[in-house]
Amino acid sequence: MIRTVAADMDSVVRIEDLSQEFDKVVERVIGTVGVAYTAIGSDRLEGISRIERQVDACARAYVAGRCDRSLWLQVLDDYERSWLVAADLASVDAPVTQTMAA
């Protein structure tokens, strides 16, 4: 019984951990987009705002157990890609490398 409880506690998803993962993505975006940020039009920023809301909703769902890690990582990938596309640094279909551990 104790072993099961410990295993359950190890699998708990904490919002703090997700926040740290998101921060890593943001750091990569800042490092890549850099000064190109000033050239991003407001229409593209609106799209990024929508993706940011999806990141928030997915984080809440993941913590509540309503989605899994693969969806969380896909949403982070979409967020990063949206910035690169908005800054004309990548095409919509270009893969974004995830460096986070599964």
Q: What are the CA-CA distances from residue 100 to residues 20, 25, 53, 74 (Å)?
A: 11, 9, 21, 12
Find the helix or strand (DSSP H, E) in which 96 lies.
Answer: none
The 10s digit of each residue's pLDDT in 30-88 is: 999 988 888 888 888 999 999 999 999 999 999 999 999 999 999 999 999 999 999 88
pTM confidence score: 0.75
Please give the distance of CA 88 from its chain centroid, rounded to a whole number: 19
DSSP secondary structure, 35-53, as one string:
GGGGG--HHHHHHHHHHHH
| Residue boundaries of the structural domains of the chain | 13-86
